[in-house]
């Protein structure tokens, strides 16, 4: 199974990606997580993308495409995967298609998680993520509280509000998301790959609907 997950920040994309990984034994490829890791390790790329991420802006297409291409051309090339946060623009989708063709890999579906912007803002304001970059698991005050308040269930590190989860940032990201996604989805709709799924349902139902849409 090779999937692309599309949806605005706060739509539950990460949760659904985790479930797809468990169900189908996939690798998750999250470009946001890759960038956060680069920032934590203070690499050249990390220093380049941090100011953009802090302001809720997208990293330029060629940087993101290069990072993904490097992964697919490495010995650790994923065969079965779920893309979480890439491609995000029409031009990234074109580059990704070319990369997959080169690697003789074919996409099975693009899962499009749909949700109202105001619901996203409410959801995000409760989000707390693990401060340990090697962990990075996210919790939610109401929907997925940690066992001990303020502490990560997985590694025990303190939970923090990420800069890119602040309300002002999230609204900017939503605007950018809508600007980019229409063309991206049109492109994949023409290939008959898009499966639209309502993301406001409880996570179990969203996942069941994804499985049905994938014909599983």
Question: What amino acid positions are annotated as catalytic residues?
Answer: 13, 88, 127, 162, 173
Which residues of the shown chain bind ligand AMP in the complex (CB under 6 A)? Answer: 9, 31-32, 35, 52-53, 56-59, 64, 85-86, 88, 92, 164, 173
Least distance in angstroms from the C-beta of 107 to ligand AMP: 16
Tell me the C-alpha distance between 124 and 130, whole Å: 15
Tell me the C-alpha distance between 134 and 170, whole Å: 24
Closest CB to ligand AMP among 64 and 159?
A: 64
Closest CB to ligand AMP among 66 and 116?
A: 66
Q: How far apart are the first and last CA of the chain?
A: 11
Least distance in angstroms from the C-beta of 34 to ligand AMP: 8
Closest CB to ligand AMP among 109 and 120?
A: 120
- 46: helix, coil or strand? helix
User: Are the C-beta atoms of 28 and 18 separated by less than 8 Å?
Assistant: yes
b/e code 43-81 from CB counts within 10 Å (16+ = b): eebbeebbeebeebebbebebbbebbbebbeeeeebeeb
Least distance in angstroms from the C-beta of 88 to ligand AMP: 4
Report which secondary-structure segment, H or E, holds 93: helix 90-102
Q: What angle do CA 173, 178, 181 make, to 5 degrees?
A: 110
Closest CB to ligand AMP among 58 and 109?
A: 58
Least distance in angstroms from the C-beta of 160 to ligand AMP: 14
Strands (E), 159-216: 159-160, 194-198
């Amino acid at each position: 199974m090779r999937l692309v997950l599309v949806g605005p920040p706060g739509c539950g994309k990460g949760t659904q990606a985790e479930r797809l990984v468990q169900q189908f034994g996939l690798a998750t490829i999250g470009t946001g997580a890759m960038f956060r890791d680069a920032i934590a390790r203070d690499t050249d790329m990390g220093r380049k993308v941090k100011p953009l991420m802090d302001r809720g802006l997208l990293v330029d297409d060629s940087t993101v495409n290069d990072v993904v291409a490097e992964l697919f051309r490495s010995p650790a090339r994923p065969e079965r995967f779920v893309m979480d946060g890439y491609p995000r623009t029409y031009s990234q989708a074109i580059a990704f298609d070319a990369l997959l063709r080169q690697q003789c890999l074919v996409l099975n579906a693009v899962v499009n998680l749909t949700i109202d912007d105001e619901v996203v803002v409410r959801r995000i304001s409760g989000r707390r993520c693990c401060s340990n970059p090697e962990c990075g698991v996210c919790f939610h005050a109401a929907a997925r509280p940690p066992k001990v308040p303020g502490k990560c269930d997985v590694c025990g590190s303190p939970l923090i509000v990420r800069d890119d989860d602040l309300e002002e940032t999230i609204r900017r990201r939503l605007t950018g998301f809508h600007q980019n996604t229409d063309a991206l989805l049109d492109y994949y709709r023409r290939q008959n790959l898009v499966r639209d799924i309502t993301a406001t349902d409880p996570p179990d139902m969203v996942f069941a609907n994804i499985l049905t849409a994938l014909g599983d």
